[in-house]
Each structure stands twice: as structure tokens, then as C-alpha cells.
């Protein structure tokens, strides 16, 4: 269980600040979503029905280049939790960077001097900058992992397949514990300090059948391209069959209580812990099954584009066999005791609903865009970006607010050579346990 908990924690930290955008064009524009961006239909299925558009400004595809794969292969993390070199933060760092981006400047890990004041009946711990890890609210970490859809078919009817997974963690500190860790309040006698934690990781294969159509075909649109003007309305939907691979989830509660005297021998510290852990005993492609749906709309009105996409509606997997175990702490043996509760029991889990609201306006060869993403961690993250082409060279810039409420900045450019080109982007980020910014680079092959 230790290994599973540690790896899940690493997965959660990887997505805490911000999910990655591997495509250089989109990253250079702050990660905004709009019809010019390759694979935009992954987040809003209605974009699949939108005409490609004119070359250069809109009409090209791009393939992300795995610039960071050398960094990943050169220093892989240790996955065995019993190995002395095991480090959960290295796992988080691996997942947060992925092979698509080259890390130019690593963000500084959150660190601080810790001041401990001890007396017979007094204990105060001042964590300094580390107090930011214990805010007066739930600590939520989470992310979904989903590759771009491998879809085949026409613009209007298509089938697809992709793996998708989820890792999330929610920790709740009692007010008394939050005050001592987050505000350096003193530990008090005869007081209980506790926290609760809920964690889940699951993976599945998604097979989809979808359709996207022009509800209102372009009217008064130059060259039939609604981005240039006129009015148009598109809608799409994607039905998904989910084949569950593995599930692991836990609910835990831990607490300790001080005695009449903080360090008195007659009133020792008491500790209590219990957890319920459910998991699939035999992970595989036949471990579970379920259904889900994606839906989206896009409207164009006089060079203004508004898109709304919602994904994983009703995404529920029924797992054929799961085991449930209860763990509690035995003070006499100073160890965790496992008690089997259920064996080979059917169980249902859900993937979180995600979505995006995007707006774009085009004028004089420029694009101004904004996106509001609803993440798997139930956060709303705003983005903004712009693009302009100067001959064969694009200039891009953007910014976004991450889940730490830090403003991140992006920039990008590229070059076009006939039917091919190269897009490059730079972006700051603050993934992991940090409040400082790092810098990464992405590149994509452009095909016009």
C-alpha cells in the first residue's frame, strides 16, 4: 500500500499546478483553445465540423516533437518504494514535464528553515515558507491523463480510441492542525489534531463513435470560412465505451491527541489511524466497463468565435471485481493491521467532468483569444493569448493563471518553408511543490 500511496501522491502533484499543453502553437498562445489549434476537437468535439480555413493563419496541422524525452530517459525515477533512492517528488517531476517539453529552468522546490520551540508544556513549529502547503481550505490535487484522440473518418462522422486515466487527492486538515502547521500556532494540551484524506487513481481505454455537423452553415462568410466573417453554428457529440483497466482508491483518517502535559510521561501522546482501501485485484483490459459522452457547440458571428465543450458526461465504470480492505493502527505492535472487508465485489466509479469555454476574435490578420478551463480537480483556470503572422513568421504571446493562483507567461514563434514549418514556444510554469517559476520549451512540426 505504501508504494501505491506514494505513486498516487506523485501523480496528483504532477497535475496540481497545471496540465501540460504539448503543442507549441497553442502553448505559445497561453494554452487557449480555438478552431485554429490542432486537436481542438479533443476538448470540443464541435470543432471537428468547422472548415479548415485559409493557409498560414488557420489551416495547418502540427505534430508535437518530444524534446524532453532525453531528460526523462537520462534520469528515470526509482519506482520501488523500498529502495533507498525512492523519491515521490521525482515521480511527480517526471509526469509533470512529460516527453514533450524541454525543461530549461527548473522551478525551485519549496523550502524553508524550520524553527521549533520546545518547553515542558509547550511546542511551536514554525515552517516558514512551507506554511503555504497548509492553507485554511481543502488541499486538492488532481489531473486526468488522456492522449489526443486517434480518430478516423470524415469531418462529420468518425470513430476513435485513446487511453485515459485519473489521479486525484483531497486532504482535509482539522482547524487545530491547520493552525499549528499553517500559522505556527502552539500545540495545546488535551487537544486532538487530525486530518482526513480521499485518493483515487483509475485507468481505462476509451473507444468512441461521434458526429459533428453544421447546424447553420456559413452565411455571408468570405471563401466559406466563418473566421473571416458571417454567421455559422456547429455542434457535435461523441459517445464513448470505456474499458476499465485498473482502480485504486482510499479514504483515510488519522489523528493524535495530546495529554495533560505536552511532554509529560504520565500522559503520553495517543495516535489513531484507519483507512478503507479498494482496488482491482487483477488489473487488465477486462477489469470493468462503462459509458460516457462528450458534447460541444461553436458559433461564429462576424469574426467572433465562441465555443463550449463538455467532456466525460456520465462517465461511469462498473468494475466486475474489487477488493476492499480496512487498515487501522495497533498501538501495541506499532503497525498497521489489515482486515479484509469485501472480496470480488462489484463497484462503480466515475471520471470527473471537464470542459472549456473559449472566445476568439480576428481582425487585421491578428487573433485574440481567451479560454476558461474546468479541470479534473474542479478548478476554473483562465487563459489568454494572441497571434499575428508577419509574412512566413508568426508571433505569439499569452498568459494563464495556474491552480496556485500564480500568473504564468508564454511566448512563441516559428517559420514556414513551403508546405512545412516549425513552431517553437517558451512557457513558465510552477508544477509540483513550489511557488517559483520554471521555464520550458516546446516545438511542433507544422504541415500546411
Q: Which residues of 83-102 are buried (b: 16+ CB within 10 A; e: fewer)?
A: eeebebebbbbbbbbbbbbb
pLDDT at 331: 80
Pick from 18, 26, 136, 34: nearest CA to 379:
18
pLDDT at 219: 94
Integer Cα distance of 194 and 234 in angstroms: 51
Pick from 75, 95, 71: nearest CA to 85:
75
> What pTM did the predictor assign?
0.82
pLDDT at 6: 43
**Residues 150-172: tens digit of each pLDDT:** 889 998 999 999 998 888 888 88
Mean pLDDT, contiguous 10-residue spans, the chain (448 residues):
42 46 89 85 92 63 81 69 64 62 82 75 82 79 70 92 87 91 88 92 95 95 90 97 96 88 69 92 94 97 96 96 94 86 96 94 92 86 94 93 88 90 93 80 89
Residue 169's CB: how many other CB atoms inside 10 A?
Answer: 22
Please name the helix (run of DSSP H) or strand (run of DSSP E) that holds residue 164, with its range, or none: strand 157-173
**Residues 185-234: tens digit of each pLDDT:** 998 888 899 999 999 999 999 999 999 999 999 999 998 899 999 999 99
pLDDT at 276: 96
Task: Report which DSSP code applies to 448.
Answer: -
pLDDT at 69: 77
- Residues comprising the chain, all counted: 448
Pick from 343, 351, 367, 353: nearest CA to 318:
351
Amino acid at each position: 500500500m505504501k508504494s501505491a500511496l506514494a505513486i498516487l501522491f506523485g501523480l496528483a502533484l504532477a497535475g496540481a499546478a497545471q496540465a501540460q499543453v504539448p503543442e507549441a502553437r497553442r502553448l505559445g498562445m497561453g494554452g487557449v483553445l480555438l478552431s485554429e489549434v490542432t486537436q481542438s476537437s479533443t476538448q470540443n468535439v464541435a470543432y471537428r465540423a468547422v472548415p479548415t480555413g485559409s493557409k498560414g493563419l488557420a489551416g495547418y496541422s502540427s505534430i508535437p516533437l518530444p524534446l524532453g524525452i532525453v531528460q526523462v530517459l537520462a534520469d528515470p525515477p526509482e519506482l520501488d518504494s523500498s529502495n533507498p533512492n525512492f523519491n515521490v517528488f521525482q515521480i511527480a517531476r517526471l509526469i509533470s514535464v512529460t516527453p514533450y517539453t524541454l525543461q530549461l529552468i527548473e522551478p525551485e522546490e519549496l523550502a524553508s528553515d524550520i524553527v521549533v520551540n520546545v518547553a515542558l508544556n509547550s511546542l511551536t513549529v514554525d515552517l516558514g515558507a512551507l506554511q503555504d502547503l497548509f492553507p485554511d481550505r481543502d488541499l486538492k490535487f488532481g489531473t486526468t491523463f488522456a492522449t489526443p484522440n486517434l480518430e478516423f473518418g470524415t469531418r462529420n462522422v468518425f470513430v476513435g480510441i485513446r487511453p485515459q486515466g485519473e489521479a486525484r487527492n483531497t486532504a482535509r486538515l482539522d482547524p487545530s492542525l491547520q493552525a499549528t502547521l499553517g500559522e505556527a500556532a502552539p500545540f495545546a494540551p488535551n487537544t486532538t489534531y487530525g486530518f482526513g484524506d480521499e485518493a483515487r487513481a483509475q485507468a481505462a481505454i476509451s473507444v468512441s463513435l461521434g458526429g459533428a455537423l453544421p447546424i447553420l452553415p456559413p452565411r455571408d462568410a468570405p471563401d466559406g470560412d466563418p473566421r473571416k466573417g458571417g454567421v455559422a453554428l456547429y455542434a457535435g457529440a461523441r459517445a464513448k465505451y470505456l474499458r476499465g483497466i485498473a482502480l485504486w482508491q482510499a479514504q483515510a483518517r488519522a489523528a493524535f491527541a495530546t495529554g495533560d502535559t505536552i511532554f509529560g510521561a504520565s500522559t503520553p501522546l495517543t495516535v489513531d489511524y484507519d483507512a478503507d482501501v479498494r482496488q482491482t485485484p487483477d488489473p487488465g483490459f477486462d477489469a470493468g466497463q462503462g459509458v460516457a459522452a462528450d458534447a460541444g457547440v461553436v458559433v461564429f458571428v462576424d469574426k467572433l468565435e465562441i465555443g463550449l465543450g463538455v467532456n466525460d458526461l456520465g462517465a461511469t465504470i462498473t468494475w466486475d471485481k474489487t477488493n476492499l480492505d480496512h487498515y487501522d493502527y495497533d498501538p501495541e505492535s506499532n503497525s498497521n493491521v489489515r482486515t479484509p472487508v469485501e472480496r470480488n465485489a462489484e463497484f462503480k466509479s466515475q471520471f470527473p467532468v471537464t470542459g472549456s469555454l473559449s472566445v476568439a476574435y480576428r481582425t487585421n490578420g491578428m487573433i485574440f483569444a481567451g479560454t476558461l478551463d474546468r479541470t479534473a480537480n474542479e478548478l476554473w483556470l483562465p487563459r489568454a493569448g494572441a497571434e499575428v503572422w508577419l509574412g512566413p513568421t508568426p508571433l505569439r504571446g499569452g498568459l494563464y493563471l495556474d491552480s496556485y493562483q500564480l500568473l504564468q507567461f508564454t511566448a512563441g514563434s516559428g517559420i514556414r518553408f513551403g508546405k512545412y514549418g516549425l513552431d517553437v514556444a517558451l512557457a513558465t510554469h510552477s508544477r509540483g511543490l513550489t511557488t517559483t517559476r520554471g521555464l520550458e520549451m516546446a516545438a511542433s512540426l507544422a504541415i500546411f
